[in-house]
Amino acid sequence: MVVVSANTSWNIYNFRRPLIRGLHAAGYSVCVVAPQDKYTEKVRELGCEFREIEIWPRSTNILREIRTLYQYWRLYSSIKPTLVLQFTVKPVLYGTIAAKLLGTKVLNTITGLGAPFIWQTSVTRVIELLYKVTLRISDGVYFQNNDDRLLFIRRSLIKESRAQIIPGSGIDLNRFPLAPMSRSTECTFLFVGRGIRDKGIVEYLNATRILTARYSYVRFQLLGAIPSSRTTDSIAIMLQSAINEEQIEYLGDFEDVYPMICAATCVVLPSYREGLPRSLLEGSSTGRPLVATDVPGCRDVVVDNVSGFLCRPKDSEDLANKMEKIVLLSHRSREQMGLNGRKYVGENYDADIVVSKVLREIEEILNIV
């Protein structure tokens, strides 16, 4: 039995399906350990056993954190897995401690560093200490980009010889086939992601105002959830105002993003930091040029001036300038950028590459000849 764990069932279903299918094809039984949400039933339909756990991704309440650690220990004691594959911060931190207390093999993937490493809060040091302990006792550790890997090495959180690179969760090229781009004179930018500060939504809104003043035939869209917690109220209000004023078109939050990408001219992600952004992989696989920030994760997917344009992080004016470059390109040049991106992700980020690498690593960890 192999356990696959992440901080949401949504994450498992959207990012780990090729891996789960690969594990099944290799003869492994799979149990998913994650919080229950609307994607839980879809996870079960993949042929997985499912065990629920409570994880509060943004919580710093010590009692909740201890509860999550205890639940991992209790679940892993019951499941008795041969190996656990863990993704996202808290499954890596707490799941590893629980698994090693039980003598279970662990393969962890650092999928991104998140807000504590972007903003360097008081929590950052605590998380670093936990990483230092858990990654030392892990049987294998993957990073999704070299910037994150080097950061962990520089901060002595992991030895260089133990830190491996894997091309994200991969992209299923068959799910996102190359699609012809509309020849309409209208240019449509699509932001795919949660409407939160760390994803660059404020810069995107500012850039749309700049470009709206210059061009009447440019459209701006947002596809993704808009949080409404206390920490994001001001951004939610800003977003709602932009939607009400028809500055941007809100498409909602859908599982199948492919039709919206097909209808777009360019996919935009001005994020502050990523592991390896799925929205950019999906955009390139579909054959759309990209505009993203020159930050870890994003610059791993975008080949500047070849498959898209990179802008300075947290710089609305530079983002607008790079988006304007897309506006001013000919239809043929946009198509060529999209084709370049499709070729690049096909050669480097095909899900089959990721699954094959993980399966080989599992065989080495389990000493399977």
Q: HSE, CB side, 13 Å, CA atoms: give it for residue 188.
A: 20
- DSSP states of 29-67: -EEEEE---TTHHHHHTTT-EEEE----TT---HHHHHH
Q: What is the pLDDT of residues 124-159, one digit of tens each?
A: 788 888 999 999 999 999 999 899 999 999 999 999
Contact predicate 166/146, CB 8 Å:
no
Q: Quick one: pLDDT at residue 250?
A: 93
Write down the mean pLDDT value for the chain: 92
Contact predicate 294/312, CB 8 Å:
yes
Q: Quick one: pLDDT at residue 40?
A: 97
Helix (H/G/I), strand (E/B), else coil: 101: helix
Q: Quick one: pLDDT at residue 117?
A: 64
Q: Quick one: pLDDT at residue 234?
A: 79
Q: What domains lie within the chain, and their CATH numbers?
A: 2-170+350-365 (3.40.50.2000), 187-348 (3.40.50.2000)
The DSSP call for residue 181 is P
Contact predicate 51/75, CB 8 Å:
yes
Lowest mean pLDDT among 21-25, 38-42, 54-58, 188-192: 54-58
Other C-beta atoms lying within 10 Å of the C-beta of residue 292: 29
Q: Quick one: pLDDT at residue 238?
A: 84
Lowest mean pLDDT among 18-27, 127-136, 222-231: 222-231
Q: Give the residue among 334, 310, 331 at the shortest CA–CA distance from 322.
A: 310
> Binning pLDDT at 50, 70 and 90, where does residue 116 land?
low
Q: Quick one: pLDDT at residue 228?
A: 66
Cα 267 versus chain centre, distance: 15
Give the CA diameter of the chain: 64
The rounded distance, in Å, linking the Cα atoms of 170 and 21 is: 13
- Averaged pLDDT for residues 10-19: 93
